[in-house]
Structure 1
Amino acid sequence: MRASTRDEEFLTFVREHRTELVRTAVLLTAGDRDLAEDLVQTTLTQLYVRWDSFRQARNPGGYARRSLVNALIDEKRRPWRREQATDELPEDTVLPFDQIDSSLRTEALYAALAELPPRQRAVLVLRYFHDLSVEETAETLSCSGGTVKSQAKRALDKLRARMTEQLSPSYRGNGAYHA
């Protein structure tokens, strides 16, 4: 294949899939947009290197998502990534519970996602963000459907508990949310 045709095909793929990959990466990284961009760049670089075999894949989008998940897992293994975020609201902040800003809910979701192991986070993102079936998720992650189901259940249980802890314990029943 001529290099220019190869490059044109790759650029077409990037134009069609980059936005979706970035959105997926933002969820996989629990809202860390810088890391998400880095992961997408790493993934696209790897796909470009393997373009001749990649473009013949049965499900290129799934293959790209799998590569993205692998890039996340590789990145999380790096020791300097084991730092913990400490941004917290001051104790005296009081908000009406029904007016909790969606950005606060989003922050709580990202914080809860960040505490999940990468594999569980990947299952949730693929199942509920990409709306893949159990079988499609299993194929993307190279595991069984039973593993997808158990990982999803564990992840959802952890996510629910953490979200409840982050948003509800300060709710005092008086219509105010104390952060």
Structure 2
Amino acid sequence: MARPWELLLAEVAQQRWRRLVTHATFVSGSYSDAPDLVQEALVSAFAGRARFETADQAEAYVRRAIASRAVDASRRRTRERLALDRAGARTGAVVTDEDSLPGADVVRALASLTPRERACVVLRQMEDLSVAETAAALGLSEGAVKRYTSDAIKRLGALLGATSPRHDHETTTVEPTAGTEVRRGR
């Protein structure tokens, strides 16, 4: 007989895998790292002390674990890249088939953000978490979340060629009606 957590894990892993991988792709900025991030987050969520009553609770926890792991992995890669640069062993960029996948421009744009910016913008804009929820998930202050999100949205807009809606203001002349006194400022 399966234990309740095993049934919950099976449900989340089988029915929500694709959504979790998509989330991980946006957070990590990498198609190839996404499945590994989901797997690691599932293992840590169900091997730890976290207890869930519903699949929605479990999925929300796993999504936050994915974001935290993506930030950690990005930091680790940055340290490794700096070590390689110091050793003079840095090689050129590798072109992959990922560039031809749908949404590749968005993934590339997200990948150009810092790990915290990327995590904040994905959690706030794509996962629709509040500022407070995002701050709690990432261990940041609410002000930091607002700043990272704002900076990220500006950079994404520039990279993706998005423009903010413009409000062209028309000038309208207001004429006083008959019998109305017009007061002039001092």
TM range (shorter): 0.5 to 0.7
Equivalent residue, structure 1, for 2:178: none
Q: CA deviation at 1:28?
A: 1.3
Q: CA deviation at 1:148?
A: 1.4
RMSD: 3.1
Q: CA deviation at 1:47?
A: 1.4
Q: Could you tell me whether the CA contact under 8 Å between 1:21 and 1:40 is conserved in 2?
A: yes
Question: Does 2:45 correspond to 1:47?
Answer: yes
Letter in 2 for 1:63: Y
Structure number with the higher helix fraction is 1
Q: Could you tell me whether the CA contact under 8 Å between 1:29 and 1:36 is conserved in 2?
A: yes
Q: 2:156 aligns with which of 156, 159, 174?
A: 159
**Distance of aligned partners of 1:12 and 1:159 in 2 relative to their CA distance in 1, 3 Å threshold:** same
- Once the two structures are superposed, the pairs formed by residues 1-179 of structure 1 within 5 Å of their partners are 4-30=3-29, 32-50=30-48, 52-55=49-52, 59-79=57-77, 82=81, 85=93, 87=95, 106-164=103-161
- Structure 1 distance, partners of 2:92, 2:129, is 31
- Please give the TM-score of this superposition, normalised by the length of structure 1: 0.67
- Structure 2 distance, partners of 1:84, 1:46, is 34
- Structure 2 distance, partners of 1:104, 1:43, is 24
Deviates more, 1:67-76 or 1:104-113: 104-113
Q: CA deviation at 1:41?
A: 0.8
**Distance of aligned partners of 1:85 and 1:109 in 2 relative to their CA distance in 1, 3 Å threshold:** farther
Q: Could you tell me whether the CA contact under 8 Å between 1:65 and 1:140 is conserved in 2?
A: no
Equivalent residue, structure 1, for 2:181: none
Letter in 2 for 1:127: R
Q: Could you tell me whether the CA contact under 8 Å between 1:126 and 1:132 is conserved in 2?
A: yes
Q: Could you tell me whether the CA contact under 8 Å between 2:20 and 2:38 is conserved in 1?
A: yes
Matched residue pairs, number?
147
Q: CA deviation at 1:59?
A: 4.8
Q: Equivalent residue of 1:128, what SS?
A: helix
Structure with bigger gyration radius: 2
- Structure 1 distance, partners of 2:15, 2:102, is 30
- Structure 1 distance, partners of 2:60, 2:92, is 31
In the alignment, structure 1 segments of 5+ residues that lack a partner are: 89-102, 166-179
Q: Could you tell me whether the CA contact under 8 Å between 2:27 and 2:122 is conserved in 1?
A: yes
Q: CA deviation at 1:64?
A: 1.7
Q: Equivalent residue of 1:55, what SS?
A: coil
Q: Could you tell me whether the CA contact under 8 Å between 1:25 and 1:40 is conserved in 2?
A: yes
1:10-39 per-position Cα deviation (integer Å, ceiling 9, x unaligned): 222333543321111011122x22210011
Q: CA deviation at 1:104?
A: 8.6
1:139-158 per-position Cα deviation (integer Å, ceiling 9, x unaligned): 32232322211111111122
Query: Identity percentage over the alignment?
Result: 31
- Please give the TM-score of this superposition, normalised by the length of structure 2: 0.64
Letter in 2 for 1:125: V
Q: CA deviation at 1:163?
A: 2.6
